Chain A
Amino acid sequence: MADSGVIDGPGRKDEIERAKSEGKDLTKEEKQRLRKEKKQQKKIKEKKDDKASQENEKEKKPVTSAAPASQPPTQPTVQKAPSAVPATAPVSVPASEASVPADKPTKTKAELKAERRARQEAERASKQTKKGETGQQAATSKPKAPPSDLQPVVKRLPEHIQVDNPDVLKKLAKKLERQQIPLRSDYGYKVSLFSHLHQYSRKAPLTQQLSIPSTVIHPAIVRLGLQYSHGIVAGSNARSVALLHAFKQVIRDYTTPQNEELSRDLVNKLKPYISFLNQCRPLSASMGNAIKYIKKEISNIPSNCKEDEAKNKLLNCIESYINEKIILAGVAIAKCAIEKQKISDGDVILVYGCSSLVNHILCKAFEKSRKFRVIVVDSRPRLEGKEALRRLVQKGISCTYVLISAVSYILPEVSKVFLGAHALLANGYVMSRVGTSQIALVAKAFNVPVLVCCETYKFCDRVQTDSFVSNELDDPDDLIVTRKGTTPLEGWENESSLGLLNLVYDVTPPDFVDLVITELGMIPCTSVPVVLRVKNVDQ
């Protein structure tokens, strides 16, 4: 259909090929196109003097890439990405053409043809959008604007990773003031690479600035915030469960004011609480998902529903959420792992830190009389491994305990590595306690399979490839240790060039993870966006 007016001599072969391969995966095409465009842009920059021949080359390439680019729009795909990319092709064409007239006033025949073709494609694409989706329309409108879609679509960075930007801080302060929540001030010198993150001190809790019988914030939430900042409730699952418990108290004590609807007012009531909890300790991905779920449930309450009924409904929703997503998911994961022989007799399993889910799996496997032993790897300053060790030994599992510095020593003995996750990101990266990526790396080097256990409610839409951009900085004073009466780091604040860094999370690339065990089954790391998509469609 679209082939007729588009074909040029040298591009014909490619045209036929692409016509044949219509319907096959677009990603390859996209990748090729992207590569080509990058090359073009490089060449434009490098060889501005060498005009004629190179310009011809340049035009032929965007021509050939523009030609097949028109075909994908004809295929009824919903995704924005392929529609965005053909838009870039016509973009690069006018770009290169723009550079051409800039360099040389006279145009050759080929150049004129290219221009005509570009115009035809743009028109065709616009016709497609009249039939089809708004996404493509946005894509076609983009060629008119020079900035291409290859640039990140995210134009707003979240506040919590822009701490070194005074404007963002001012905005945050204003927002908190409006919600009547005190602002927690940062503490201590921050290492420059992480100066865009918050760093709080445990000795300056947020409750210092609150009135004691807290009236603005519900007492259950104040208690929860304190427990978060003191580390009494730590771990992704525990934090979510405690959060939902506190929300249950809030909902129980809530009364709808006059002339307000429960569905709208309750959500507004929850917003300052969430800001407060965020100030006490940055929210985890699982908590974020739980909050989204609750907000959705609240807004879906019909307006004719009586208050008591509505409250009961919400309480039941929360109960069922916890039951399904946390408790039953844990049971399902354990069952999956044990029945599919992921834990077999004679196994030596390495775990890191204290993950409630991994501990649960191991305890269940032990109950089902699998014979295995566990190596618990631990790291300072949290030393969470000691708690994991305690729970496993209490059940009767034979354990070994090492610090993370001994991981490469102990790995030859290990047959499998089980890791817990704080969140699974949309590009397949695993966000977990700092040190996990090291364990995964060393395990890969030793060819030991790495299995990550994670419930689906911890999957989040974020994309991260490094541990710097978005992380959490814990209290630097935790790193100070007193041994034999001396504290070497005692006056660290007075040393101008000394910074203490206490990172909490790191990201592990999907290449190091062999399998993710979720309640939906065992999936590879790269299937996380599929699960997210399925979940979004469900909701």
Chain B
Amino acid sequence: MELQAVLMAAGGGSRMTDLTYNTPKAMLPVGNKPLMWYPLNLLEKVGFEEVIVITTKEVQKAMSTDLKIKDVKMKLDVVSIQEDGDMGTADALRHIQPKIKTDILVLSCDLITDVALHEVVDLFRAHNATMAMLMSKAHEFTETVPGQKGKKKTAEQRDFVGVDKSGKRLLFMANEADLEDGLSIRKSIMRKHPRMLIKTGLVDAHLYCLKKAVVDFLTENKSISSIRGELVPYLVRKQFSKTVNSQKLKDDTDDQTQEKNDGPANHELLISSRDEPLLQLAQERSCWNDHRGDMSEAYHGGKLRCYVHIMDQGLCCRVNTLAAYIEVNRLAPKLFEEPSVHPSADISERCQMGSDSIIGAVCHIADKTSIKRSTIGNFTTVKEKVKVTNSIIMHGVTIEEGCNIQGSVICSNAVIGRGADLKYCLVGNGQHIEPEAERTNEIIVGTDQLMEI
């Protein structure tokens, strides 16, 4: 087997608590499909047959009842972990280490993308890389986000990503938070790659191909707890570490098991196959080099290589903020050729429905309603004379007559009273909005949730 897929679905959605305090992030509806359905669909389309899903018990329960997830033809091996939130993604990998038999492809449940996955995996295969990841050019979010007052963005911590001339080899990765005085780049990197492009406007898709040796390394080094935050920068730095490069032929002839028992962590990361001498020979005899202009061989003799595929076209979005959630609800349905109106929805003829709206299953849309650019979830009831524009209505919501909802997000099981006028609001789970209410740019959640920190 070549690759095992691992889907990380235990995340808490810490940056959009208003949405996730009742529904786990993995099950948030996007275009009337649960969020985790999208990466699963991506894997299925490409040809995976099995996925290991790491998630919480709550999500596991929700998955078993969800129809869309049941539709997924792959075999889902669900591993549940504690919900206390202390387990990072790397800790989760360590937890499932016994199940890992080959190289892995790690995905996050909040990734919605239409990338051609072979681009990332080909880099991983062709260059025998230790890690290959996916990044995308960040797009500005154009929709107004409910509850945002004043400036559009707080100063987001930027990521500095350094790639080589070809744009494929990852040379440098650091987050602004970790850099105190400024960006400092090691001389060893500059000597080997005199031309480096540093990009800041990239969003990390949290899609990684990792060699099995990395997972084994994680089991030895229990201090690393997050893939994105710690493991990836570590690997990128280690590419140019002196000790790794000076190993060369000595370790090639060593037994694989012996290497694992060696003390320093570097040894585990060395890519060693049983026929390393043959691979060396092939590389020596090959007249290819990945760089020109200096005296060193291909890859500068380095055995640890990290690659990145940067998408410039297509959709790649991580749904970890409210703004992203709204944006993605607009774009995601366009990825699929599905009818926008679910067959079981009951829509009266006098309803004005725009072509870019989505109506879920078992909905009741009454007369004289106008639904434009919105997503309406399953089991919702919309009474007469309601105007819904640019909004996201989740499942089980009841909207009484005469309401006017604009640019808002209404979470599951909420009830909007008669004649309410909501503009750019976020109505939490199970909330009741009193009739004739007029709210603009507010987040309406229950009082008990407000106490959560």
Q: Which residues of A contact B (CB under 8 A)?
A: 205, 207-208, 210-215, 219, 222-223, 226-227, 230-235, 237-239, 241-242, 244-245, 248-249, 252, 322, 327, 353-356, 384, 386-388, 390, 393-394
Structural contact, A387 and B118, CB atoms closer than 8 A? no
Structural contact, A241 and B281, CB atoms closer than 8 A? yes
Structural contact, B288 and A387, CB atoms closer than 8 A? yes
Additional pairs, 14, CB under 8 Å, beyond known A212-B2, A213-B2, A227-B126? A205-B118, A207-B125, A208-B116, A210-B118, A211-B46, A212-B46, A230-B126, A231-B288, A232-B126, A235-B285, A235-B287, A241-B278, A386-B289, A394-B295
B232 beta carbon closer than 8 Å to chain A: no
Structural contact, B117 and A390, CB atoms closer than 8 A? no
Structural contact, A233 and B286, CB atoms closer than 8 A? yes
8 contacts between A and B (CB under 8 A): A212-B3, A213-B3, A223-B128, A233-B286, A356-B285, A386-B292, A388-B287, A390-B295
Contacts of A207 in B (CB 8 A): 118, 121-122, 125
Partner of A212, one of B47, B278, B282, B288: B47
B283 beta carbon closer than 8 Å to chain A: yes
Nearest CB in chain B: distance from A477 CB, A: 15
Nearest 10 pairs of A and B residues by beta carbon: A211-B47, A354-B287, A238-B286, A219-B2, A238-B285, A242-B282, A356-B285, A245-B278, A226-B126, A241-B282
Partner of A222, one of B2, B128, B278: B2
Q: How far is the CA of A356 from the CA of B289 in the complex (A)?
A: 14
Nearest CB in chain B: distance from A415 CB, A: 25
Contacts of A230 in B (CB 8 A): 126
Nearest CB in chain B: distance from A314 CB, A: 14
Interface code B31-47, partner A: CB below 8 Å = 1, 0 otherwise?
A: 00000000000000011
Partner of B48, one of A212, A238, A248, A327: A212
Structural contact, B125 and A248, CB atoms closer than 8 A? no
Nearest CB in chain B: distance from A368 CB, A: 20
B453 beta carbon closer than 8 Å to chain A: no
Structural contact, A234 and B48, CB atoms closer than 8 A? no
Structural contact, B278 and A248, CB atoms closer than 8 A? yes
Structural contact, B287 and A234, CB atoms closer than 8 A? yes
Residues of A contacting B: mostly? helix
Q: How far is the CA of A219 from the CA of B4 in the complex (A)?
A: 13
Contacts of B1 in A (CB 8 A): 213, 215, 219
Contacts of B274 in A (CB 8 A): 252
B262 beta carbon closer than 8 Å to chain A: no
Residue of B nearest to A393 (CB): B295
In B374-391, which residues have CB < 8 Å from any A CB? Answer: none
B275 beta carbon closer than 8 Å to chain A: yes
- Whether A245 contacts B282 in the complex (CB less than 8 A), given A205-B122, A212-B117, comes out as yes
Contacts of A353 in B (CB 8 A): 287
Q: How far is the CA of A241 from the CA of B288 in the complex (A)?
A: 15
Nearest CB in chain B: distance from A439 CB, A: 17
Residue from B4, B5, B128, B275 whose CB has the most chain A CB atoms within 10 Å: B275
Residue of A nearest to B4 (CB): A213
Structural contact, A213 and B285, CB atoms closer than 8 A? no
Q: How far is the CA of A516 from the CA of B126 in the complex (A)?
A: 35
Nearest CB in chain B: distance from A245 CB, A: 4
Q: How far is the CA of A237 from the CA of B281 in the complex (A)?
A: 9
Contacts of A390 in B (CB 8 A): 289, 295
Nearest CB in chain A: distance from B395 CB, A: 33
In B273-313, which residues have CB < 8 Å from any A CB? Answer: 274-275, 278-279, 281-289, 292, 295
Structural contact, A234 and B121, CB atoms closer than 8 A? no
Q: Which residues of B contact A (CB under 8 A)?
A: 1-5, 46-49, 105, 116-118, 121-122, 125-128, 274-275, 278-279, 281-289, 292, 295
Residue from A212, A242, A356, A387 whose CB has the most chain B CB atoms within 10 Å: A212
Residue of A nearest to B43 (CB): A212
Residue of A nearest to B125 (CB): A223
Structural contact, B275 and A248, CB atoms closer than 8 A? yes
Q: How far is the CA of A252 from the CA of B2 in the complex (A)?
A: 15
Residue of A nearest to B124 (CB): A223
Q: How far is the CA of A232 from the CA of B283 in the complex (A)?
A: 8
Contacts of B4 in A (CB 8 A): 213
Residue from B117, B275, B282 whose CB has the most chain A CB atoms within 10 Å: B282
Residue of A nearest to B273 (CB): A249
Contacts of B49 in A (CB 8 A): 213, 215
Residue from B105, B116, B281, B283 whose CB has the most chain A CB atoms within 10 Å: B281
Q: How far is the CA of A210 from the CA of B49 in the complex (A)?
A: 14
Partner of B279, one of A215, A219, A245, A252: A245
Q: How far is the CA of A222 from the CA of B126 in the complex (A)?
A: 9
Q: How far is the CA of A105 from the CA of B2 in the complex (A)?
A: 79
Q: How far is the CA of A233 from the CA of B284 in the complex (A)?
A: 10
Contacts of A239 in B (CB 8 A): 282, 286
Nearest CB in chain A: distance from B321 CB, A: 29
Nearest CB in chain A: distance from B197 CB, A: 16
Contacts of A393 in B (CB 8 A): 295
- Whether A214 contacts B2 in the complex (CB less than 8 A), given A207-B122, A232-B288, comes out as yes
Contacts of B288 in A (CB 8 A): 231-234, 387
Residue from A353, A386, A393 whose CB has the most chain B CB atoms within 10 Å: A386
Residue of A nearest to B2 (CB): A219
Contacts of B279 in A (CB 8 A): 242, 245
Nearest CB in chain A: distance from B264 CB, A: 28
Q: How far is the CA of A238 from the CA of B117 in the complex (A)?
A: 29
Structural contact, B285 and A237, CB atoms closer than 8 A? yes
Q: How far is the CA of A194 from the CA of B372 in the complex (A)?
A: 57
Q: How far is the CA of A356 from the CA of B295 in the complex (A)?
A: 17
Nearest CB in chain B: distance from A141 CB, A: 49
Contacts of B5 in A (CB 8 A): 213
Contacts of B282 in A (CB 8 A): 233, 238-239, 241-242, 245
Q: How far is the CA of A467 from the CA of B116 in the complex (A)?
A: 38
Nearest CB in chain B: distance from A37 CB, A: 48
Residue of B nearest to A219 (CB): B2
Q: How far is the CA of A388 from the CA of B49 in the complex (A)?
A: 45
Q: How far is the CA of A441 from the CA of B46 in the complex (A)?
A: 52
